[in-house]
Amino acid sequence: MGRQGPRGGLERELERLDGAPYGRYKGLVGTWELGPGRTVRIVRAQADPFAPPGRVALRLDGEAAGFEPELWATPVRRRALAGYLVRSAAREVRGERAYQLDAGGQEVLDRGSCTVGADGSVTLRFGVSLPGPRRRIDGHQAWRLLGPGAARIADRALVARAHEAALVREFVETVEDSAALRAELPQRGLVGFVADGALLPRRSGADDRPARGAGVVPFRSPQELRVTVRLPNAGEVSGMGVPEGVTLIVGGGFHGKSTLLRALESGVWDHVPGDGRERVAARADTVKLRAEDGRRVERVDLHAFVDHLPGGADTTDFSTDNASGSTSQAASLCEAVEAGARVLLIDEDTAATNLMIRDARMQALVAKEREPLTPLVDSVRSLHRDHGVSTVLVMGGSGDYLDVADRVIMMDAYRPADVTARAREVAAVPTGRRAEAESFPGVVHRRPDPASLDATARGRTRIRSRGTDQLVFGEHEVDLRSVEQVVDGPQVTGIGLAMELLVRRGHLDGRRTLAEALDLLDAELAGPEGVAALLSVHDEDLAVPRRFEVAAAVNRLRALRVFR
> 424-443, pLDDT tens digit by residue?
999 999 999 999 999 999 99
Query: In this structure, are residues 440 and 285 in contact, taking their beta carbons and an 8 Å threshold?
Result: no
Does residue 169 lie within any of the structural domains? no
Domain endpoint, select from 146, 163, 180: 163
Q: Give the distance between the most distant pair of CA atoms in the chain.
A: 87
Strands 390-394 and 343-347: parallel
Contact between 315 and 306 (Cβ < 8 Å) = yes
Q: Is residue 542 in some structural domain?
A: yes
pLDDT tens digits along 336-391: 999 999 999 999 999 999 999 999 999 999 999 999 999 999 999 999 999 999 99
How many folded domains does the chain comprise? Answer: 2
For 12, the enclosing helix (H) or strand (E) is helix 10-17
The CB density around residue 425, as the number of other CB atoms within 10 Å, is 11
Q: Which residues contact 95 (CB under 8 A, 6 or more apart)?
A: none
Cα(395)–Cα(246) distance, integer angstroms: 12
What is d(CA 431, CA 361) in angstroms, rounded to the nearest whole number?
9
Q: Residue 77: is its pLDDT beyond 50? A: yes
Residue 426 lies in a domain: no
Residue 433 lies in a domain: no
DSSP string, 368-427: GGG--B--GGGTHHHHHHHH--EEEEE-SS-GGGGGT-SEEEEEETTEEEE-HHHHHHHH
Is residue 8 pLDDT above 80, yes or no? no
Nearest-CA neighbor of 179 among 229, 240, 218? 229
Q: What radius of gyration, in Å, describes the C-alpha atoms of the chain?
A: 26
- Low-confidence winner among 5-9, 303-307, 352-356, 483-487 (lowest mean pLDDT): 5-9
Distance of CA 5 to the CA centre of its chain: 37
Q: Give the Cα separation of 20 and 131 in Å (integer).
A: 12
Q: Is 263 exposed, middle or buried (0-12, 13-18, 19+ CB in 10 A)?
A: buried
Whether the predicted pLDDT of 2 surpasses 50: no
Report DSSP letters for 105-135, one per residue. Answer: SSB---BTTEEE-TTS-EEEEEEE----GGG
User: Which residues are bridge partners to 470 per DSSP?
Assistant: 466, 479
* The pLDDT value given to residue 313: 87
| Domain-ending residue, one of 163, 190, 212 | 163
472-516 per-position pLDDT tens digit: 999 999 999 999 999 999 999 999 999 999 999 999 999 999 999
Asked if residue 265 belongs to a domain, the reply is no
Burial class (CB in 10 A: 0-12, 13-18, 19+), 502: buried
Per-residue pLDDT tens for 50-61? 999 999 999 999
d(CA 199, CA 40): 41
Mapped onto helix, strand or coil, the DSSP state of residue 229 is strand
In a domain, residue 243? The reply is: no
Q: Are strands 318-320 and 297-300 parallel, antiparallel or unpaired?
A: antiparallel
- The answer to whether 120 and 62 have CB atoms below 8 angstroms apart is yes
pLDDT band at 255 (very low <50, low <70, confident <90, very high): very high
Work out the pLDDT band at 67, boundaries 50, 70, 90.
very high
133: in domain = yes
Is pLDDT above 70 for 228?
A: yes
Rounded to 5 degrees, φ, ψ at 195 are -70, 145
Reported confidence tier of residue 1, pLDDT bands at 50, 70, 90: very low
pTM for the complete prediction?
0.97
Which residues pair with residue 288 across a beta bridge? 345
Please give the Cα distance from 11 to 9 (Å, whole number): 5
Contacts of 479 (CB under 8 A, 6+ apart): 295, 469, 470, 556
550 closest CA partner among 475, 491, 504, 510: 491
Residue 463 per-residue DSSP state: E
Q: Among 103, 128, 163, which residue terminates a domain?
A: 163
Beta bridge partners of 44: 55
Return the amino acid letter for 488: D
Full residue range of the structural domain in which residue 125 is found: 10-163
| d(C-alpha 434, C-alpha 121), whole Å | 63
pLDDT digit string, tens, across residues 96-151: 999 999 999 999 999 999 999 999 999 999 999 999 999 999 999 999 999 999 99
Is residue 546 one of the residues assigned to a domain? yes
Does residue 45 surpass a pLDDT of 50? yes
Whether the CB-CB separation of 330 and 378 falls below 8 Å is answered with no
**What pLDDT score does 5 carry?**
67
User: What is d(CA 374, CA 356) in angstroms, rounded to the nearest whole number?
Assistant: 9
pLDDT band at 4 (very low <50, low <70, confident <90, very high): low
CA dist., res. 558 & res. 61, Å (int): 45
Average pLDDT in the chain: 96
